Amino acid sequence: MQDPIDACTRRVLEALHAARTPGWMFPAHFLDIFFEPAGAERGACALMQAGPHCLDATGRVSHAALAVLADVCMAAAVRAHAGREVRIATLTLRLSFGALPAAGRLRAAAHVRMMPAQLAMNSAIVGVEIRDAGGAMVCSGEATFAALENRQQTASHPLPTASTLTGGLRPAALAPDEQPVWEWARTAANEADGAASFLDRFWSLHSPMPPRSEGGVAWSVGLGRHNSNRVGHLQGGVLLGLLASACRQAAAPQFALVDIAVQYLEAASEQQLAVHAHLVRSGGSAAASHASLRGADGKLLACAQAHLARLRS
């Protein structure tokens, strides 16, 4: 049986190979997200297989991985209405979580709920549900997207309808811009432990320091191909995963994340980003946390509010 960490680093090499074909971003290749063929009803259905590469330290699918799946599926639903050439910007994203699986296929289904005609900015409000292989819902949510002019002339691409992981690369064959991703993956593999999984380390989802006595956490995140979208900004689902992890770590270990709402204020495009979260309230059965993502100059890029609940004994 293959070692889980070896499977994770091999997955990175496979995703780098897939990313050599323009169109799909590295995080989506890494999670191996692909779509069911479009049906008569406009929307989108995306698939992802859970495995060691996308689990958290508890052995369950990471909130960040689910957020990426939700985000790309909802964006695809918007493009089904507005056209594949438009540039999509996430404005808000709210996700609620149930019991998270440890394995099996996950299916996200997204549909545009409304496109308010009275707004000057073309906007779409989209709903999503993610279910496990048995049909149980593990995540649901809603997002607001802006459909923008494609000023950067990012090429449109057909959504993959099958796995893009069709081959791998040898480390010696990596291009100069691929080498940092591989080196970071090796670091993540070496540092993965009971406190933080491979994905926690790879996407910097875990604070290297314990929470402060007043109930707060803070750490820095480096931006690179491993966690960015096609235009080099921090991917929206990864961003939610960072703030979700920060909100959870700001609370006591016996609390689990139930719900998080994120507002995206500015594109996270700086090479170094700062995550901070603090506990707002903690009671016997529920807690609340706030989190933020800032640039190196302190500019607020995104903020989040999270609700947590105490786990059963």
Does 242 map to a domain? yes
For residue 70, give its domain range: 4-150+176-310
Does 162 map to a domain? no
Does 171 map to a domain? no
Does 168 map to a domain? no
- Would the pLDDT of 67 be above 50? yes
- Would the pLDDT of 153 be above 60? no
The pTM of the full predicted model, rounded to 2 decimals, is 0.94
- The pLDDT of 134-151, averaged and rounded, is 89
Does 132 map to a domain? yes
What's residue 86's pLDDT?
Answer: 78
* Contact of 131 with 138, CB cutoff 8 Å: yes
- Would the pLDDT of 130 be above 50? yes
Does 156 map to a domain? no
- Would the pLDDT of 155 be above 60? no
Does 155 map to a domain? no
Q: Name, in order, each residue with C-beta under 8 angstroms of 152's C-beta and a sequence gap of 6 or more.
A: 87, 231
Three-class DSSP labels, the chain: CCCHHHHHHHHHHHHHHHCCCCCCCHHHHHHCCEECCCCCCCCEEEEEEECHHHECCCCCECHHHHHHHHHHHHHHHHHHHHCCCCEEEEEEEEEEECCCCCCEEEEEEEEEEECCCCCCCCEEEEEEEEECCCCCEEEEEEEEEEEECCCCCCCCCCCCCCCCCCCCCCHHHCCCCCHHHHHHHHHHHHHCCCCCCHHHHHCCCCCCCCCCCCCEEEEEEECCHHHECCCCCECHHHHHHHHHHHHHHHCCCCEEEEEEEEEECCCCCCCEEEEEEEEEEECCCEEEEEEEEECCCCCEEEEEEEEEEECCC
Does 199 map to a domain? yes
What's residue 113's pLDDT?
Answer: 93
- Tell me the pairing of strands 44-50 and 123-131: unpaired
Q: Between 82 and 308, where is the model more confident?
A: 308
- Would the pLDDT of 40 be above 70? no
The number of domains in the chain is 1
- Would the pLDDT of 107 be above 50? yes
pLDDT digits over 213-266, tens only? 566 899 999 999 999 999 999 999 999 999 999 999 999 999 999 999 999 999
Around Cβ 58, how many Cβ atoms within 10 Å? 12
Cα torsion angle, 184, 22, 63, 263, sign? positive
User: Could you tell me the CATH number of the domain that includes residue 70?
Assistant: 3.10.129.10
What's residue 1's pLDDT?
Answer: 43
